[in-house]
Amino acid sequence: MVTTPTAPELPTALEKELLAIAGSVPDPELPVLSLGELGVLRGVHVRAPGKVDVELTPTYTGCPAIETMTADIEQVLHERGMAEVSVRTVLSPAWSTDDISAEGRRKLAEFGIAPPRPHGAGEPGSSGGPVPLTLSVRCPHCGSTDTELLSRFSSTACKALRRCVSCREPFDHFKEL
């Protein structure tokens, strides 16, 4: 017997609403971004009346914020009337900085954190070529690309500490993954 693959089901109006609610939860480490803008919220599926499954992909395996994200998602969906909320960690496909929305990138820069550059943004090394030894990272304060690396790690493992040579201001850079 030959079976044909079925098309993925389109989200219902309720699933879209619940996705928006869960997606509006602030990231515990970067509260300027919502989980939706960060791109870690992968899906919301209503399984029965009042029962919902949520798929969440951490920015990296072992992310300490995953427990807080889970609790916050459960809380907002319980407040919406979902009696049973199950949040499942999904590791494949892995999260990438390309998952950060354009709005999320804008908010990072506005907050003083240089956003990651999209893979394939015309940078050397973005299309499988050699990885550049130095990165051209734009200062979120003055816009200069004359910046220097101070430390490969900053307040969180996903950020590096840089300084602008032009305005001398230090800033975090959300590293590309």
pLDDT in tens, 127-163: 444 445 556 899 999 999 999 999 998 888 788 999 9
* Mean pLDDT computed over every residue of the chain: 88
Stronger pLDDT, 104 or 2, i.e. the higher one: 104
- The CA distance from 145 to 138, in Å, is 4
Can you tell me the mean pLDDT for 93-100? Answer: 94
Query: Phi, psi at residue 73, to the nearest 5°?
Result: -65, -45
Candidates 62, 26, 29, 28; CA nearest to 154 is: 29
- Does the global pTM surpass 0.75? yes
Place of tokens 């219902």: 12
- For residue 61, the model assigns a pLDDT of 84
User: Where are the CATH 3.30.300.130 domain residues in the chain?
Assistant: 13-89
Architecture of the CATH domain 13-89: 2-Layer Sandwich (3.30)
pLDDT at 1 over 80: no
Q: Hey, which bits of the chain come out as E strands?
A: 41-48, 51-56, 84-89, 113-114, 147-151, 159-164, 170-174
Cβ contact 91:118 at 8 Å = no
- The CA distance from 68 to 62, in Å, is 13
113 alpha carbon, distance to own chain's centre: 14
- For residue 124, the model assigns a pLDDT of 42
Contacts of 70 (CB under 8 A, 6+ apart): 56, 87
